[in-house]
Amino acid sequence: MAWAVAGQTQRIGLWGGKLLHQGTFKVSNGAYDLLVDGQTKTALPQGASAKILHAATSIRIETAGKSFAGKKIIFRPSAWNSEFHLTPENPKKDRRIYQDELHLRHRSAGITAINEVDLEKYVAGVVEAESGKDQLYEYYKVQAVICRTYILSNRNKHYGEDFHLCDEVHCQVYHGKSRWNDSIPLATYATKGQVLVDKDINLITAAFHSNCGGYTINSEMVWSKPLDYLIGRPDTFCLHSSQSHWEKEIPAHDWRSYMQKNFHYNMADSLMASRVLHYYPTAKSRYMMDEKLAISLVKIRQDWKLRSTFFIVHEEGDKVRLIGRGFGHGVGLCQEGAMQMCRKGHTYQQVLHYYYTDVHLLDVNRLGFFKD
């Protein structure tokens, strides 16, 4: 793999790659050129707008009394600070601000919209969407490194769809330009090009989650594959954070039926029933009680939309109460723990090495040198 990343752009499928039928493009800063099937057709100065319409065999663009049609449309910046608003009208979605280029591709059922954007601008947008606008500068550096690492190790996730990554949870959440806290782009560029690699100098799977509930877990407890840098460890930093504890009530009849139907668990046996109605684990696990029973905690979490797989079950009359800790899969970096570490004065490097075992922080443009 070539590691010449400086100046690299990312192609991001907007709205999770879902198709657009009608929308409005508006130049909010700088200026743009409109290219139709590779030919420059007109210039759009700051404030200019263009209507985007899906037709049976083409995309139609209407701007300043002119109409253009083609299968491949590009709005390309002609000034360094160019930005645009994009407002989907069918389907109707919120307006967002993007930087760099907008590519539109005709499909029979609609239009694929792609933001081709500089790597670091994209990282800043992801950092804002994934961690919010009110964190410390040092924490934003943490998030920038893991987001950048994820991006570069997953650039083929949407191979064959004309873009590298989508803008939803399937990849990483991206709502366009970072614009709510100046610390975010500053932290992104302060860590420019920095990524995490394992002992063999391969980009790691930079997994992260909201809150581990006091203990992160090994990767194989969630995804079956063990990774020596994703090892569970105690984490007291997150224990008093907002997502550290949760509760959920479920009708006891529904819980009994669920266990019987999904895991063929013998609820007619009072002793066996008691084990899933009064379940008190002392540590995180992949299965409820016993691996042989194959009662997957990941499946329970998904089916009941629970915040985590670490919880107790206590029957109370005609209900069962689930009392849990943490929010997310529990693998890798705990965001709320990392935030607290930064508040206590730890550097972003210390935070990263705390949550990822035996990793190295390197400039991605130098990976080729180390590989050789």
- DSSP codes of every residue in 77-105: ESSTT-EEEEEEEETB---EEEESEEEEE
The answer to whether 51 and 24 are in contact (CB under 8 A) is yes
User: In which residue are the tokens 């379940």 written?
Assistant: 279
In a domain, 347, yes or no: no
Q: What is the pLDDT of residue 224?
A: 80
- The residue among 62, 95, 118 that closes a domain is 118
In a domain, 367, yes or no: no
- pLDDT tens for 187-211 read 999 999 999 999 999 999 999 999 9
In a domain, 201, yes or no: no
Q: What is the pLDDT of residue 6?
A: 45
In whole angstroms, how far apart are CA 64 and each of 13, 43, 45, 47, 67?
A: 27, 10, 11, 11, 8
Backbone angles phi, psi at 193, to 5 degrees: 80, -10
Backbone angles phi, psi at 251, to 5 degrees: -55, 135
Element at 197 (helix H, strand E) = strand 194-197
Say if strands 83-90 and 49-54 run parallel, antiparallel, or are unpaired: unpaired
- The residue among 86, 118, 150 that closes a domain is 118
In a domain, 221, yes or no: no
CATH code of residue 17: 2.60.200
Q: What is the pLDDT of residue 1?
A: 33
Domain count, the chain: 2
- The residue among 118, 149, 181 that closes a domain is 118
Q: What is the pLDDT of residue 311?
A: 95
Residues of the chain with confidence (pLDDT) below 70: 1-7, 368-372
Q: What is the pLDDT of residue 3?
A: 38
In a domain, 140, yes or no: no
Rounded Cα distance between 249 and 318, Å, is 10
**Which residue range(s) make up the domain with 275?**
245-325
In a domain, 352, yes or no: no
In a domain, 273, yes or no: yes
User: What's the pTM?
Assistant: 0.88
In a domain, 300, yes or no: yes
- pLDDT tens for 42-79 read 999 999 999 999 999 999 999 999 999 999 999 999 98
Q: What is the pLDDT of residue 370?
A: 59
Q: What is the pLDDT of residue 2?
A: 36
> Residue 197's beta-bridge partner residues?
203, 360
Rounded Cα distance between 73 and 37, Å, is 6
Rounded Cα distance between 263 and 268, Å, is 14
